[in-house]
Amino acid sequence: MDNPQRYKIEEIVWYEVRTILILIAIVISQKVFLTDIFGVSLNLLLLLIVLRTLIEPIVTTARWALYGGLILDCLSGSWLGMHSIGLILAVVMVFVLLSRITSENWILPIVAVIIGSVVYYFCNGLLLYALVGGFNLFTYVTVVFIPGVLVILVPALPVFLVLRSMRRGELPLDVY
């Protein structure tokens, strides 16, 4: 009664190490190459994880959120687990609210990015307030929350189309 779909331990370990290396490259490129534009930088990790929630199974995306958040915490000097909690909550909210809608709808990635980024930035603000103490809420909303949500909306649809086409092995746009 051996399951033919069982993977060897080496394959599982290699898959996890490869995922961690990919996430390290994404976080480093996010920190180095996506510099601040008018004081706001694109959160590429959040964008990729939220859009993968629409394409991949929730378990895979949650692992990406956990690993990516821990890597982002280590490289940014924040509390360990702060970004992971925000990313995992964003993944869960997007999955719960949008899992029944087909991914063929072009408005879906934009709505998913809005939901995911609002949950992520709200969770980070709440954890920042709880761990650090009082801070100016108006400044956080006007400097981090609103610009972060608006900047991440710009590449949402093109990145979703590329990710979906990579998954299916087709062109991102229909060319007729």
- Asked if pLDDT for residue 1 goes beyond 70, the answer is no
Does 2 map to a domain?
no
Share the mean pLDDT of the chain.
86
Does 50 map to a domain?
yes
10-33 tens-digit pLDDT:
888 899 999 999 999 999 988 888
Q: What percent of the chain has pLDDT over 90?
A: 41
DSSP conformation letters of 16-81: HHHHHHHHHHHHHHHHHTS--BTTB---HHHHHHHHHHHHS-HHHHHHHHHHHHHHHHHHHT--TT
Q: Which domain holds residue 95?
A: 9-168
Amino acid at 81: G
Does 176 map to a domain?
no
Taking alpha carbons only, the member of 121, 114, 124 closest to residue 94 is 114
User: ∠ at Cα 33 (90, 42), nearest 5°?
Assistant: 30
Instruction: Give every CB contact of residue 120 below 8 A, 6+ residues apart in sequence.
Output: 43, 46, 86, 87, 89, 90
Does 175 map to a domain?
no
Does 82 map to a domain?
yes
Taking alpha carbons only, the member of 87, 154, 156, 92 closest to residue 122 is 87
Does 56 map to a domain?
yes
Does 3 map to a domain?
no
Distance, C-alpha 8 to centroid of its chain: 29
Q: What percent of the chain has pLDDT over 70?
A: 89
Sole residue written with tokens 């702060």 = 82
List the single range of 21-35, 142-156, 157-171 with lowest mean pLDDT. 157-171
Alpha carbon distance 121, 155 (integer Å):
18
Total number of domains in the chain? 1
Does 41 map to a domain?
yes
